[in-house]
Amino acid sequence: MESAGHRILLDLGLPLNAPDLVSTPLPDVKGLSGEDPGLLAIVLSHGHRDHWGLVPKAGNRVPLVMGKATERIIRAAADFVPDAVALNAAQYLEHGKPLQVGPFVITPRLVDHSGFDAYAMEVEAGGKRIFYSGDLRAHGRKGGLFEALINHPPPNIDTMLMEGSSLGRLADDQSFPSEAALEEIFVDRFRDTAGLALVACSAQNIDRVVTVYRAAKRTGRTLIVDAYAAEVLKATDKDSIPKPAPGWSNLAVFIPQSQRIQLKKKNIASIVGSYRGFRLWPEQLAEHAPRSVMLFRGWMMRDLDRARALAGASVFWSQWDGYLGAGSPGAALKADCERRGMPFEVIHTSGHASPGDLKRLAAAVSPKRLIPIHTFEREKFPTLFENVSIHEDGEWINVGGRDADATGF
């Protein structure tokens, strides 16, 4: 966005369909690949890679703005996830707190999303107002935030940039199951599983970890997490999120062998000290298996094999089934389960709003102009929403109307 000669960037993601970071170029924005004081900040709506993945390519020149928990989680994950980096925020987004960046006033709205600490934002500059949805949904554990947004929408929005991830994945009149409904399904399945219940989900999908934790507790099981998940949970710094900390029951930390080596290599082996009282050792796994649920990734099968902890185990795939495509680690896990005769079931709900919820949002905000973003089906927008205007990447749009001072993007 540009106003009065100053610019900010809303998100700088690595597209989900990009082959890799190296071969994906930075967008043609002045100040990203060379010095340009006009670019004041990159504002990150949340911690998903498709919203910040290209930031490392831009180097440290441009100040970053993001949520505090987003910064902490990205930093926590950087020690564990291949080619991840720790990002440093210059300023923080806080729910409802206007933030001035040059001529821009950004008012963040915490939203319900599969990524923690995710924001939509109003941006006002030069007397014009834009609303950016970021990624959001209504059916997660923080669905109340979506209803609050609908009930108190940002007023007088000239242009709304709205995500449409679910379009094409769901019929216009279909909705996604809620996290609460998922919890009930997990409770049923954990009851029916004789051995270890292995849940393959992202540790950074905090809503889902809470769903799985609650279902584990309700079925008398302990949720076992690895050091990566433990660090991400700690990084939320939120009392209501389960973590290896005093006061939490039904939670244990198991550190797979390759992770133990990784912790030593990264010189952070000392973090395991904070798991005192929560550790589960390989020789205890088999005994604990029938009373446990494990946050799991395919490569952990080695450790479970070695510990003879897989009798009666089931795998629950609790992430996008797009990650089960041919040649993926998910497909390899599924094939491994088939070979072992181990049940494999997908239990998942989307991190994004259904078309019906997007309709409610668009109607509530009622912008003068609605621009589709973050979607593979933008041509569906005019059939669902009012005042839609479709634009190409790189196309410069004038929000202000006439003069050179106008806000645009």
- Shortest Å distance, C-beta 227 to Zn ion: 24
Q: Count other C-beta atoms under 10 Å from residue 48's C-beta.
A: 25
Q: How far is the CB of 313 from Zn ion (least distance, A)?
A: 31
The correct pick among 1, 7, 41, 48 for binding Zn ion (CB under 5 A) is 48
**Distance of closest approach, residue 50 Cβ to Zn ion, in angstroms:** 4
Binding pattern for the stretch 132-151 against Zn ion, x by CB under 5 A and - elsewhere: ---x----------------
Return the range that interacts with Zn ion (CB under 5 A); candidates 40-48, 104-112, 233-241, 246-254. Answer: 40-48
Q: How far is the CB of 117 from Zn ion (least distance, A)?
A: 11
At 91, which amino acid appears? Q
Nearer to Zn ion, 145 or 307 (CB): 145
Q: Both tokens of residue 2? A: 């540009």
Q: Which of 74-82, 108-116, 166-174, 309-317 is the region at the interface with Zn ion (rule: CB under 5 A)?
A: 108-116
> What is the β-pairing status of strands 64-67 and 39-43?
parallel
Nearer to Zn ion, 72 or 113 (CB): 113
Phi, psi of 151 (to 5 degrees): -75, -30
- Number of residues interacting with Zn ion: please give it, by CB under 5 A: 4
Comparison of 24 and 274: residue with beta carbon closer to Zn ion: 24
Name the packing angle between helices 227-236 and 206-218 (round to 10°). 110
Give me 11's structure tokens.
């998100």
Asked if 250 contacts 263 with a C-beta cutoff of 8 angstroms, the reply is no
Instruction: Please list, in sequence order, all residues whose beta carbon lies within 8 angstroms of the beta carbon of residue 238, skipping any fewer than 6 positions away.
Output: 69
In this complex, which beta carbon is closest to Zn ion, that of residue 50 or of residue 179? 50
SS (H, E, C) 292-346: EEEECCHHHHHHHHHCCCCCCCEEEECCCHHHHCCCCHHHHHHHHHHHHCCCEEE
CB closer to Zn ion out of 50 and 207: 50
Helices (H) then strands (E): counts for the chain: 13, 17
Q: Which of 53, 67, 108, 115 binds Zn ion (CB under 5 A)?
A: 115
Please tell me the distance from the alpha carbon of residue 41 to that of residue 99, in angstroms, as a whole number. 12
Query: What is the closest distance, in whole angstroms, from the C-beta atom of residue 225 to Zn ion in the complex?
Result: 22
For residue 163, the minimal CB distance to Zn ion (Å) is 7
Residue 51 vs 189, nearer CB to Zn ion: 51
Closest CB to Zn ion among 203 and 342?
203
Return the range that interacts with Zn ion (CB under 5 A); candidates 46-54, 242-250, 327-335, 363-371: 46-54
d(CA 286, CA 99): 52
Question: Is residue 50 a contact residue for Zn ion (CB under 5 A)?
Answer: yes
Site string for Zn ion, 217-256 (x = CB under 5 A): ----------------------------------------
Residue 132 vs residues 4, 28, 354, 374: alpha-carbon distances, Å: 20, 21, 17, 11
List the end-to-end C-alpha distance of the chain, in Å, as a whole number.
4
Q: Which is nearer to Zn ion, 115 or 367 (CB)?
A: 115
Smallest separation (angstroms) from Zn ion to the CB of 120: 12
Q: How far is the CB of 115 from Zn ion (least distance, A)?
A: 4
Q: Please name the amino acid found at residue 346.
A: V
Distance CA 154, CA 144 (A): 16
Do the Cβ atoms of 191 and 401 come closer than 8 Å?
A: no
Q: In angstroms, what is the minimal distance from the CB of 213 to Zn ion? A: 21
The residues binding Zn ion (CB under 5 A) are 48, 50, 115, 135
